[in-house]
Chains A and B, each alone.
Chain A
């Protein structure tokens, strides 16, 4: 391909390296701060070159690990369960919408599409889920409101089904005597792995990162996801030591290495995403490009 010649390439790499550094360095500062000695952070501030390293922060988290392990469990559960349910619901709605001749097809398409244009916003959503569905302090509060399915993904999948599945294939399966659900499950889904993977990846990231539902619907710390713990500890660093799951009640408080613990807990929260990123970044980039073309 025709690109800028070799000697001048350096002028592309310099700004790109600077931008890449701007994206990565904050994470590096986070990690280094988390393994720094509490005393040197108090003297030097969060820094890339602390005088002394130390592991108090992680030792503290280890001593209060019950709540953290539990929160990880909550996060993993809602991510797996939520993503699976979301994929099933999205595909099961999108597939009939893609089929010719299904009654009320136009009406359904409008019903789905309109949700992208207009919404009730936070207040009525909150009141309805709390008052009519009594969702406060249930695990469903972390899965259902706002996250489970969205019209955009439905339209994305429908477009994929319409453009890649030949109608003749469905007819052939019908002639062979396959029922509609069997066709969907055994033929359509396996053929649609690219879009299933894209929507699945988007949903996984959404569930893993969500803190908003936990913040408004959950007050019971047993149901906190890892993001909710992070959220609480940002303003209330004592949270772990005060929590009723902590065995060493009263022990902490005074000798809590709070500046480094803050960073250590953020590392614990962000590590899985960063560790997995090299493996899924290729699919994510493809997925973004698909999504932008048109749902």
Chain B
């Protein structure tokens, strides 16, 4: 754009033309990648027909939802999604806070950083690699657990990939393994930011380490813990597809305990080609997820205005 001085202030479009143009690629992408699919949610109310397309397919009202909620599926996937998320949020938070406090007490800065980096490593690995790691431990014929650990304990081999009752524990452990290090980085940064004067004063008064943690560290950490937890609760209707689909090797025998909304939507769409069912479950997830985000943000706002998203 030609810059002529003095600027013609009235003509914002002219003055900011280049800046407005710069935003076009990003905005166009959001339009295609985010807004068109939001609009595309209308297929949940249609009988999708590939030839007729998204707009041309016939409306069927709530029929897709009737099918979805008539079966046990809706109940199972909702229950699994919510219960897993609660377990993940609780355990990840407890572990991350505990580890962060411990790391902060370690005198050697080098070792403290070293532990932190090592604990963060699993966060960087794709779920496909995680499924290989899980397979090397759980494989029926050659797994480390069946071949080395269980014989030591005198327990029979277990067919991990076909017995659904073990998976709530397996998935929770993996989620912890992969996620706690990440949260720990956030909490440790918050602990390091606490004013050392509090601790100095407490030490002068003869407070033990344990008392200091209970009466200084945890209370000062609680705003960020509550904020992170509420943000996680806002996402409680969503789960990590890779964890629930890849790690159990897509095994249908485990559906009872590994099927969550995300895997249900995927299976209905890609394996069964049942677009009605898939989109109905997807819309259900989007709407409830949206309401939960709004509610959790409302709660964050009540609690601490500056931490709220909006």
Binding site for B on A (CB under 8 A): 1-4, 6, 9, 12-13, 15-16, 19-20, 22-24, 26-27, 29-30, 33, 41-42, 44-47, 88-90, 92-93, 95-97, 99, 101-104, 108, 111-113, 115-128, 131-133, 144-146, 148-149, 151, 154, 174-175, 177-181, 184, 205, 208-212, 216, 227, 230-231, 234-235, 259, 262-263, 266, 269-270, 273-274, 277-278, 281, 284-285, 288-289, 292, 294
Contact = CB atoms under 8 A, between A and B. Distances in A.
Given A24-B118, A102-B16, A108 B131 contact: no
In terms of DSSP, what is the predominant structure of the interface of chain A?
Answer: helix
A115 to B, nearest CB: 4
B16 A24 contact: no
10 contacts: A9-B107, A115-B30, A122-B269, A128-B40, A148-B29, A175-B5, A235-B250, A266-B129, A288-B185, A289-B185
A27 B128 contact: no
B275 A123 contact: yes
B54 A128 contact: yes
Interface string B145-183: 011100000000000000000000000000001000110
B285 interface: yes
Contacts of B199: 2
A126 B241 CA distance: 15
In terms of DSSP, what is the predominant structure of the interface of chain B?
Answer: helix
Contacts of A294: 307
Given A15-B102, A20-B118, A92-B26, A210 B181 contact: no
A262 B135 contact: yes
Contacts of A175: 5
A16 B196 contact: no
B173 to A, nearest CB: 10
A234 B290 contact: no
B272 interface: no
B12 A101 contact: yes
A92 B30 CA distance: 13
B177 A96 contact: no
A257 B39 CA distance: 49
A120 to B, nearest CB: 3
Contact of A289 (B18, B38, B106, B189): B189
B119 A149 contact: no
Contacts of A119: 34, 37-38, 286
Contacts of A131: 50, 53-54
Given A45-B143, A45-B147, A92-B23, A123 B265 contact: yes
A9 B200 CA distance: 19
Contacts of B305: none
Given A9-B107, A29-B136, A45 B128 contact: no
Contacts of A118: 38, 286, 289-290, 293
